[in-house]
Amino acid sequence: MNVKEIMTTEPATCTPDTSLEEVAKLLVKYDCGAIPVMRSREALKPVGIVTDRDIVCRIIATGTDARALTAQDCMSTPCVTIAPTASLDACCEKMEQYLIRRLVVVDKEGFCLGVVSQADIARRKVDKAGEVVKEVSRPSRSASAVKPLEAAAPAH
C-alpha cells in the first residue's frame, strides 16, 4: 500500500497572507489539525504548514494578538513532503524522523496533491500507526522546544 491510497485529497489550504483567524476557521470547517500553506492560490506548491498546535503554542500562549497575524507568522517551514508513490513504511519513517503527525503529498513538480496523517495510517495499518504515535509523541519534546521546522529538508 502506498501514500496515494490513503491520503486526503483536495485538503483545505491557505496562502502566507491568510489571516490566522481565517486559518482557524478552516481548521474548524474542515475538521482537521493542519492547513498547508501554498505559495499562492495559482501556484499550489507548499511553503509551510500551520497546525492548531502552532497557533496555540507560538501565538496564543505567548500572549500575542492573533488577530493581527497571518499564516506566515505562525507556519512551520519548510513543509515536509512525500511522494504519492511512497510506501506507508517510508511515510511512517519520515513522520518519526521529523516528529510530525502529517506530511503534505506532492507530485514530481512539487504541487500539492493531498495530506497524509497519522489518522489515515491508523485506519489502514494499526500496528504501524501505534509505532508512529509512540515515536512522534515522545515526552522529551518540551513546549519551549517547539519551533519552526527551518532545519528540516523538504525532501520526498
**Count of CB atoms within 10 A of residue 125's CB?**
18
31-45 pLDDT, tens digit per residue, is 999 999 999 988 899
pLDDT tens figures, 70-82? 999 999 998 999 9
In the chain, what is the greatest distance between 2 CA atoms, to the nearest angstrom? 44
Q: Which residue has the higher pLDDT, 127 or 151?
A: 127
Query: How does DSSP classify residue 62?
Result: G
Positive or negative, the CA dihedral 65, 70, 76, 81 is positive
DSSP state letter for 58? I
- CATH code for the structural domain at 3-142: 3.10.580.10
Q: Judge contact between 35 and 21, C-beta under 8 A.
A: no
Judge whether residue 12 has pLDDT over 60: yes
Burial code of 15-49, b = ≥16 C-beta within 10 A, e = fewer?
A: bbebbbeebeebbeeeebbbbbbbbeeeebbbbbb
Q: Which three cell numbers stand for residue 65?
A: 494578538
Q: Cβ of 149: how many Cβ atoms within 10 Å? A: 18
% the chain with pLDDT above 90? 70
Q: Where are the domains of the chain?
A: 3-142
3-class DSSP state for residue 57? helix
Instruction: Provide the whole-model pTM.
Output: 0.79
What local confidence, expressed as pLDDT, does residue 139 receive? 56
Give the residue, 66 or 150, on which the prediction is more confident: 66
